[in-house]
Amino acid sequence: MFEGVGKPVFSGIAIGPARTWRQEQAPLPEPSGDAAAERQAFEAACETARAQLTGLYETACRELGEEQAMILEVQLLMLDDQDFLESVQARLEAGEGAARAAKATGEEFSEAFAALDDPYMKARAADVRDVSQRLVNILCGGRQEFSLPEPCILLAEDLTPSETVQLPRDKILAFVTRQGSANSHIAILARTMNIPSLVQARDLPDVEDGCPMIVDGFAGRYYLEPDGQTLSAMIRKAEEAAERRRRLEAYRGVPTVSRSGRRIKLLANIGSPDDVDAALAQDAEGVGLLRSEFLYLGRSDFPTEEELYEAYCQAARKLGDRPLVIRTLDIGADKQADYFHLPAEENPALGCRGIRLCLCREDIFRPQMRAIYRAAALRPLSAMFPMIASVEEVRRAKAFCQKIRQELADEGVPFGEVELGVMIETPAAALISAELAKEVQFFSVGTNDLTQYTLALDRQNAALEEFLDTHHPAVLALVRMTVENAHAQGIWAGICGELGADPTLTELFLEMGCDELSVSPGRVLELRAKICESEV
Ligand code: PEP
Ligand code: MG
């Protein structure tokens, strides 16, 4: 038996034969020596690639939703990227054949992306590799095709976006990749598919197809040719997990009320309108945090007001009359998009992010607020501002909202009511929550950032884990203070950071009187069970 580790991106147990993702590659043709003919061949290959990607985009939209399909749009854009095309052209002029030029340029660009610090840009290395591999395959007459005869655990170095789109989903029990990150396409797909998966399984050896394998997505471990003892332990673990899921089904459609009658709203955190489906499938009572910055990532320019409006209307329609809380753009720090062209900062987590950026850049704030107010014509909505640290910031944001309402009214554009709130995710906001409560209609505590800023501990730095006390009394005291100050002023307070999903704190949050918990869709039923069984 071989036992290895990886970073789990989705929990669960999978048992089945391993199968390595392989791409058949025909040998690269020798250069013809005719630069004009090679150029023509390259341009024709680009046309074919465009047609293939457009077809894949449509399939992906249908089967995976628009958000995932957007990665294929990124690849389509790469086919028109001037730097990429010029680099290929220079190689063609130097006498390289079209296939070799496409391959070498793809490798060069992919290495350059992989060397960047920004995790989003790093993940784009896979897109470049993917698109140039497609060109090479076309030029070599090879095809990107992969079939799986039986359900299996799929092993790969990493999987590119269009590879993942082509996978026969019903035949995949789990993914294990040597590369990849929590942001990588494969991790996103695993979460969408609800299957256990590991990334960064660096020691994964070459495995023969059909080799018996187990993936433990709870513990971040995998076993090749497991011995009898491991196999029976894992079967037991899988049965226990299935039994837990079956038991939780009893809490579907049940009001979230504790035994002593405390009612708490259980909502979901999402990143796009497509995720509303997952939230509803898990019986969330609505959406307590739509991280709108995800509508800005994975693209090469700002979304327009119309695009934002459509996205918010789509989420609002799907949710019917259930609550929808849209957080205004929280770009900056770990979430960057290069078209913002933000100046590099020495301490981005303490930099021009969240509400600060919106207050400095009305051109970015305006389309968001117009889209939110316009979508509210459909039904009431809530919006909240991230990274608030002062009363002045809230007043400026509210004044801006008032200006937007006036603009829409003057233009005769329909708009509706928006409940305004703030995220409490800086210690300053928690400490002045009594004052902030006079300005807004609700609070949502972002414990991820509140913990980072209270403990002065970078949430991105895995090396600091030994110093991270997620139940630090200072953080819990700030949460309590926030809830009390909200109630003293007659407004509601919820928690949308990860701590809200920690079942060991559920009773404490009930006792504090939290009105709402907003968590990943997959945690809803588990927390409802916890609350319904609680005596608090
Ligand atoms: C938080 O900080 O707790 C939060 C919910 O926001 P994000 O994780 O998106 O920063
Ligand atoms: Mg935050």
Both tokens of 298, joined, read: 């994975």
CA of 251 to the centre of ligand 2 (A): 29
Q: What is the mean pLDDT of residues 369-374?
A: 98
Distance of CA 281 to the CA centre of its chain: 18
CA of 353 to the centre of ligand 2 (A): 10
Q: Which of 448, 451, 502, 516 to mutate to test the pocket of ligand 1 (most atoms within 8 A of CB)?
A: 448
Under the banding of pLDDT at 50, 70 and 90, the label for residue 63 is: low
Q: Is the pLDDT of residue 25 over 70?
A: no
Task: Choose the most confident range, by mean pLDDT, from 73-82, 453-462, 494-503.
Answer: 494-503
∠ CA 461-463-468, nearest 5°, is 80
Q: What is the mean pLDDT of residues 131-158?
A: 82
User: How many angstroms separate the CA atoms of 424 and 415, rounded?
Assistant: 27
Which amino acid, one-letter code, is at 97? Answer: G
Ligand nearest to the CA of 499: 1
Q: What is the pLDDT of residues 236-278, one digit of tens each?
A: 999 999 999 899 999 999 999 999 999 999 999 988 898 899 8
- The residue from 46, 185, 313, 401 that is catalytic is 185
User: How many angstroms separate the CA atoms of 256 and 263, rounded?
Assistant: 6
Q: Is the pLDDT of residue 183 over 60?
A: no
Residues with CB under 6 A from ligand 1: 289, 291, 330, 425, 446-449, 496-497
Neighbours of 245 (CB within 10 A): 12
**Secondary structure (H, E, C), 70-109:** HHHHHHHHHCCCHHHHHHHHHHHHCCCCHHHHHHHHHHHH
Look up 496 and say whether it is catalytic. Answer: yes
Under the banding of pLDDT at 50, 70 and 90, the label for residue 204 is: very high
Within 25-171, strands assigned E span 152-156
User: How many angstroms separate the CA atoms of 312 and 290, rounded?
Assistant: 9
Under the banding of pLDDT at 50, 70 and 90, the label for residue 178 is: very high
CA of 100 to the centre of ligand 1 (A): 45
Q: Strand, coil or helix: what is 13?
A: strand
Would you state the pLDDT for residue 189? Answer: 66
Would you state the pLDDT for residue 141? Answer: 72
Both tokens of 342, joined, read: 């933000």
Q: Which of 270, 330, 495, 499 to mutate to test the pocket of ligand 1 (most atoms within 8 A of CB)?
A: 330
Q: Is the pLDDT of residue 173 over 70?
A: yes
State the sign of the Cα–Cα–Cα–Cα dihedral 304, 65, 270, 340: negative
Under the banding of pLDDT at 50, 70 and 90, the label for residue 480 is: very high
User: What are the angstrom distances between the C-alpha of 321 and each of 148, 324, 376, 380, 496?
Assistant: 43, 9, 12, 8, 20
User: How many angstroms separate the CA atoms of 216 and 501, rounded?
Assistant: 22
User: How many angstroms separate the CA atoms of 192 and 85, rounded?
Assistant: 34
Q: Is the pLDDT of residue 61 over 90?
A: no
Ligand nearest to the CA of 479: 1
Look up 140 and say whether it is catalytic. Answer: no
Closest CA to 129 of 171, 182, 181, 71: 71
Q: What is the pLDDT of residues 268-288, one digit of tens each?
A: 998 889 889 989 999 999 999
pLDDT above 70 coverage of the chain, percent? 94
Q: Is the pLDDT of residue 369 over 60?
A: yes
Under the banding of pLDDT at 50, 70 and 90, the label for residue 191 is: low
Asked if residues 201 and 178 have their Cβ atoms less than 8 Å apart, the reply is yes
What is the chain's mean pLDDT, rounded? 90
Q: Is the pLDDT of residue 463 over 80?
A: no
Ligand nearest to the CA of 450: 1
Q: What is the mean pLDDT of residues 82-102?
A: 90
Q: Report the atom number in ligand 1 closest to the C-alpha of 444.
A: 5
